């Protein structure tokens, strides 16, 4: 829940919170899109991951644009 971008040293990391009672082995899938786009794109390296973060620096490197990120458990 509550996905958000954290930008540190020019890296854009999507982070999210997990529930306290999340089952062990829960996998996450991350998607992103640029503001105004209709289609969500999957970040291939962040499909079926277990950690609550994903590096989207390459996908969001144009700092003049706005981006959305979402995650599914």
Domain locations along the chain: 4-72
10-residue block means of pLDDT along the chain (73 residues)? 85 90 90 96 97 94 91 93
Sign of the torsion formed by the C-alpha atoms of 10, 53, 46 and 71: negative
CATH 2.60.40.10 assigned to domain 4-72? The reply is yes
Residue 1 pLDDT: 75
Strand bridging mode 11-15 / 53-55: antiparallel
pLDDT at residue number 53:
95
């Amino acid at each position: 829940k509550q996905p958000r971008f954290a930008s540190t040293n020019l890296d854009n990391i999507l982070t999210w919170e997990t529930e306290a009672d999340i089952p062990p082995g829960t996998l996450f899938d991350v998607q992103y899109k640029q503001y105004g786009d209709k289609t969500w794109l999957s970040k291939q390296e962040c499909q079926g991951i277990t950690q609550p973060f994903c590096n989207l620096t390459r996908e969001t490197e144009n700092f003049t644009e706005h981006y959305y990120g979402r995650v599914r458990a």
